[in-house]
Amino acid sequence: MLTSLSFTLSLALLAIQIEAATYHVSDSISGTGFLSAFTHQAIADPTHGRVNYLSQADALAKNITYANGNTFRIQADSTTVLSASGPGRNSARIMSNNQYSTHVVIMDIRHMPEGCSTWPAAWEVGDNWPNEGEVDIIEGVNGVGVNQATLHTGAGCTMPSSSAQTGTTVGTDCNANDNGNAGCGVTCNKGNSFASSFNNNGGGWYAMERTSSYINVWFWPRNDGSVPSQVSNAASSIDTSTWGTPFANFPNSQCNLASEFGPNNIVINLTFCGDWAGAVFASQGCGSDCASFVNNNPAAFQKAYWDFASLNVYE
C-alpha cells in the first residue's frame, strides 16, 4: 500500500515524466530563414566524397542553394561535366548556428536527393566528434532502400534491439572507432521513407527527440492519417508522448547518453561517392566507378536535391 508520502512522490515523478515530453518552439525556420539560421560549410568533405561544397554566396549565385517563401533547396549541379583532376560536383553542406541538447527537431521535407552516387544526410553532431555524439536522422546512399537512423559515439556505448520501436536494429555498437564507424543503426519500417519512394509520395515529416534517457526518431509520410496535428501544423508546443511508437528508439540502458552526447549542431548535406556510397556503388547496381559516374553524367543529378518546407526546433 502506498503511504501518503510515497503517493505524493509518485505523482511528482509522473509529472516530471509528462513534462519531459512537452516542449515549446525555440527556432522556426523556413525559406530564407535557413540562410541566417545555418552557415554554409565550404570545407573538404570529411567522408571523402566527390563533392565541392560551396560558400553561401557561391551556392546562391550558382543556384546550388535556393530560398524563397516556404521553400529551401540544396541541389547538386546537374549541368557540368567535370574534369577528373578538378574539384568534385558542386553541392552544399549547411550547419545550424545554434546548438541543442534536450530538444525535438521536426523537418517537413518535400523532396530528398535520389540517384546513384548520392549520399544525403540530415543529422546532428557535437564539436568534439565522436566524443560529443552524432545522431543521423536521415541517411542513405545511391537511392537504395529505406532510411536509417544511426548513433555514433565514443567508446562504451551500445544499444539493445529495442522493443519500443517499429524499425529493425542493424547495429548495436555505437563506438565510431569500431566496425568501420558503422554505428548503432535502425532501419525504418516504411518503404516510402527514403529517396524516390519518399519523393513520389510528396515527402513527409521526420522528427527526432533527444533526452538524457532516450533518443527517438519518427517518420510520417505525406497524407499519412497517423501524423500528429502538432507535427503537420507546426504547433507552438508539442507533446511527444502522444505521437505513438517511433521507428527508432535508443535507450540509455547500455549507454550513458548524458555523457556521450554534448551540445549538437544540425547539419544538412549532400555528398557523392565517398566512404559509404562509393564503397557500395557497384553492389547496388550503379556501375563500376563512382567517381567517373559523378564526373561524366551531370543529367543524372537532376533529382539530387533537398526541398525543405520547414525545420522547427522545440526545447
Residue 59 main-chain phi, psi, to 5 deg: -65, -40
The verdict on whether 139 is a catalytic residue reads: yes
What totals of helices (H) and strands (E) does the chain contain, helices first? 7, 19
Dist. CA 242–CA 233, nearest whole Å: 15
Element (H, E) at 10: helix 4-20
Catalytic residue among 134, 209, 260, 315: 134
Length of the chain: 315
Could you tell me the sign of the dihedral formed by the alpha carbons of 256, 259, 260, 261, in that order?
A: positive
Question: Is 203 within 8 Å of 110 (Cβ atoms)?
Answer: yes
User: Could you tell me the sign of the dihedral formed by the alpha carbons of 41, 66, 141, 203, in that order?
Assistant: positive
Please tell me the distance from the alpha carbon of residue 285 to that of residue 141, in angstroms, as a whole number.
12
Strands 103-111 and 93-96: unpaired
Q: Within 13 Å, how many C-alpha atoms sit on residue 209's CB side? A: 25
Question: Out of 114, 124, 132, 139, which one is annotated catalytic?
Answer: 139
Report the run of H or E that residue 33 belongs to, with start and end: helix 33-37
Active site residues: 134, 139
